[in-house]
Amino acid sequence: MSAIILDGKLIAAEIQNEIAEEVAEFIQNDGAAPCLAAVLVGENPASEVYVRNKQRACGRVGIESQLHRLADDASLDDLLTLIGKLNRDNNVHGILVQLPLPRGIEEKRILDAVHPLKDVDCFHPENVGLMVQGRARYLPCTPHGVQQILHRSGITVAGRRVVIVGRSDIVGKPMANLLLQRDGATGPDGVNATVTVCHSRTADLPSVTRQADILIVAIGRAKFITAEMVKPGAAVIDVGMNRDADGLCGDVDFASVREVAGCLTPVPRGVGPLTVAMLLRNTLAAAMAQLP
Ligand code: GUN
């Protein structure tokens, strides 16, 4: 039997409509539109696309956006000076530094410099700490997006076995933390999972992934997860975004896994649009948090 394909673009559009209404209400009550400042360093073609998508999405929901470009050879100090300026600018509510940064610039130094109230990516250690303790200020965009896909597709998380493949600071680690909380943005049924995190040193990976009721994959390796690694009927969420000979593809071998999974996110039109929608949600929350 073939898996149900979860349409991330459709779910994200539904969320964007909700956010657009909330933004309109915010502007009516409080005056100024929320504003997101994106920082783009160098000329990474994928980053150019991501930032353009994020700015377009801002426009669709009534959020203002700015783009600050720095050359590939910008120094750490150049970048810190720009972040400092944006931190002090009362018209800017959210700051997004598009990753990856060019080699030689220590990402943590930059991300730590973003004011925690403007940290709409939820990368600052203060915001990560609050999230881990179950009192989040902002939710990390991609993990929250995955939570929303599960929730809006009627997939219960509580009590189920979730296996996450990948332990990055952007997806794997925060994803695990969100899903093992007692409560969250999608209610207690959307969290309370039994969570396992796999990585490059995991022994016998297929034996672990095959135990997953919900399998979330974020490793950046094209078509890595094949049908033999998936329990029949499992929900499979593919966070990967790779380019191979056939074009864009995820970390999941879509053609084989769709024959065993119960439901599956495609790439593109899967998790990506949700990441953008959750960024908009955080930017509105940031504007609310910074009302004078
Ligand atoms: N690069 C890949 N994913 C992300 C993300 O969620 N936020 C930022 N700022 N950069 C990224």
Please check whether residue 8 lies inside any domain of the structure: no
Q: Whose C-alpha lies nearest to ligand 1, atom 1?
A: 99
For residue 230, give the CATH number of its domain. Answer: 3.40.50.720
CA 4 – CA 261 distance, rounded (Å): 8
Number of domains in the chain: 2
* 255 and 180 together in one domain: yes
* Ligand 1 neighbour 99 (Cβ under 6 A): yes
Among 54, 118, 223, 231, the active-site one is: 54
Do residues 109 and 147 share a domain? no
Same domain, 108 and 199: no
Residue 62 pLDDT greater than 80, yes or no: yes
Cβ(65)–Cβ(39) under 8 Å? no
Beta carbons of 225 and 244 less than 8 angstroms apart: no
Is residue 135 a part of any domain in this protein? no
Tell whether 122 is covered by a domain: no
Confidence of residue 31 (pLDDT cuts 50, 70, 90): confident
Same domain, 111 and 52: yes
Q: Whose CA is nearest to atom 4 of ligand 1?
A: 99
Residue after which a domain boundary falls, among 67, 97, 115: 115
Same domain for 145 and 111?
A: no
Structural domain of residue 254, as residue ranges? 141-273
- Per the structure block, which two tokens stand in for 267? 């790439």
What CA–CA distance (Å, rounded) separates 160 from 189? 10
Q: Are residues 191 and 76 in the same domain?
A: no
Ligand 1 pocket, 212 CB below 6 A?
A: no
Share of the chain above pLDDT 70, in %: 100
CA-CA-CA-CA torsion sign (218, 219, 224, 229) = negative
Q: For this structure, is 9 an active site residue?
A: no
Residue 70 inside a domain? The answer is yes
Same domain, 81 and 153: no
Joined tokens for residue 231: 């329990």
Question: Are both 67 and 150 inside the same structural domain?
Answer: no
The residues, any chain, with a CB within 8 Å of residue 56's CB and separated by 6 or more, are: none
- Note the pLDDT of residue 246: 87
Q: Say if residue 110 is in the same domain as residue 145.
A: no
The tens digit of pLDDT for each residue in 122-136 reads 999 999 999 999 999
d(CA 34, CA 64): 6
Q: Give the mean model confidence (pLDDT) for residues 4-27.
A: 98
Residue 240 pLDDT class (50, 70, 90 cuts): very high
How far away, in angstroms, is 169 Cα from ligand 1 center?
11
Q: Quick one: 268 and 211 in the same domain?
A: yes
How much of the chain exceeds pLDDT 90, in percent? Answer: 97
- Across residues 215-219, what is the average pLDDT? 98
* Residue 152 belongs to some domain of the structure: yes
Asked if residue 16 belongs to a domain, the reply is: no
**For the segment 185-203, what is each residue's pLDDT rounded down to a tens digit?**
999 999 999 999 999 999 9
In a domain, 238, yes or no: yes
In a domain, 78, yes or no: yes
Q: Per the structure block, which two tokens stand in for 72?
A: 């590939």
What tens digit of pLDDT does each residue of 135-147 get? 999 999 999 999 9
| pLDDT tens digits along 70-124 | 999 999 999 999 999 999 999 999 999 999 999 999 999 999 999 999 999 999 9
**Atom 2, ligand 1: which residue's CA is nearest?**
99
Q: What is the pLDDT of residue 141?
A: 98
Q: Supply the CATH number for residue 51's domain.
A: 3.40.50.10860
Task: Return the half-sphere exposure (C-beta side, CA atoms, 13 A cut-off) of residue 126.
Answer: 11
Are 106 and 209 contained in the same domain?
no
State if residue 36 touches ligand 1 by the CB under 6 angstroms criterion.
no
- Mean pLDDT, the chain, as a whole number? 97
My answer on whether 147 and 246 are in the same domain is yes
